[in-house]
Chain A
Amino acid sequence: AQKITQTQPGMFVQEKEAVTLDCTYDTSDPSYGLFWYKQPSSGEMIFLIYQGSYDQQNATEGRYSLNFQKARKSANLVISASQLGDSAMYFCAMSRIYNQGGKLIFGQGTELSVKP
């Protein structure tokens, strides 16, 4: 069975600083994808970044990067130059990929607060 663990219920970061949100996962599938989603207080789920289990390079999308350490089964999200608008819940998720059934398994989330 797949499992996602996010151990930081809440985090604070100063505006313009970088922050790392932790995510560890467990799976026996060789092919899997790791995702990060952002959920602002308005409730929508916004896709941020994706990393495939076979990808050699860490994924990056603008100010977001995913620090993928396969041996440690970790997929931490790094947000550089934090902005006030980054305050939100962040969810790490995983799924099987390559047409094997794509349901997402989510962690419990980390609430990030950016201080001015």
Chain B
Amino acid sequence: DSGVTQTPKHLITATGQRVTLRCSPRSGDLSVYWYQQSLDQGLQFLIQYYNGEERAKGNILERFSAQQFPGLHSELNLSSLELGDSALYFCASSPPSGTVGTDTQYFGPGTRLTVL
């Protein structure tokens, strides 16, 4: 158990719908990262937040958005869903800058999204 929690574990929805994926980082971690894992694209970085602020952006579609709240938990919102959005979505967290192990990311169990 990495200490990162994600809900829900599974999500089945239809094209055109909107869903919200939730993540709670490990206690004390300030950074939250979102990744998408699909068969054709592999593991792709989407976005990073650090202590509530967006720190880096990767291959995140405009239909996707994320935020990190004052309590440090995070949400990834996916809208106008398409069949190709079906994937495993991971949240990861890492310790604060300047602390031991700050560069290591610990992953949650993932949310498996199926778009029908």
Please indicate the chain A residues that have their CB under 8 angstroms from the CB of B105 in the complex.
35, 47, 95, 102, 104
Within 8 Å by CB of B106, from A33, A47, A52, A98, lies A47
Write the chain B residue with the least CB distance to A42. B109
Please indicate the chain B residues that have their CB under 8 angstroms from the CB of A46 in the complex.
2, 107
Write the chain B residue with the least CB distance to A49. B104
- Min CB distance, A107 to chain B, in Å? 8
Please indicate the chain B residues that have their CB under 8 angstroms from the CB of A109 in the complex.
42
Contact status B107-A44, CB under 8 Å: yes
Contact status A108-B42, CB under 8 Å: yes
Contact status B107-A37, CB under 8 Å: yes
Contact status A102-B42, CB under 8 Å: no
Indicate if A50 sits at the interface (CB-CB under 8 A).
yes
CA distance A91 to B31 in the complex (A): 21
Contact status B48-A103, CB under 8 Å: yes
CA distance A39 to B83 in the complex (A): 24
Give the interface size class of chain A: 20 to 34
Indicate if B45 sits at the interface (CB-CB under 8 A).
yes
Beta-carbon contacts under 8 Å, B73-116 to A: 88, 90, 92, 94, 97-98, 101-110, 112
Contact status B107-A101, CB under 8 Å: no
Q: Report 14 cross-chain contacts, Cβ distance below 8 Å, ordered by A residue.
A: A33-B104, A35-B105, A43-B88, A46-B2, A47-B107, A93-B43, A95-B103, A95-B105, A98-B103, A102-B56, A104-B35, A104-B43, A104-B45, A108-B42
The interface of chain B, by Cβ under 8 A from chain A, is 2, 31, 33, 35, 42-43, 45, 48, 55-56, 58, 88, 90, 92, 94, 97-98, 101-110, 112
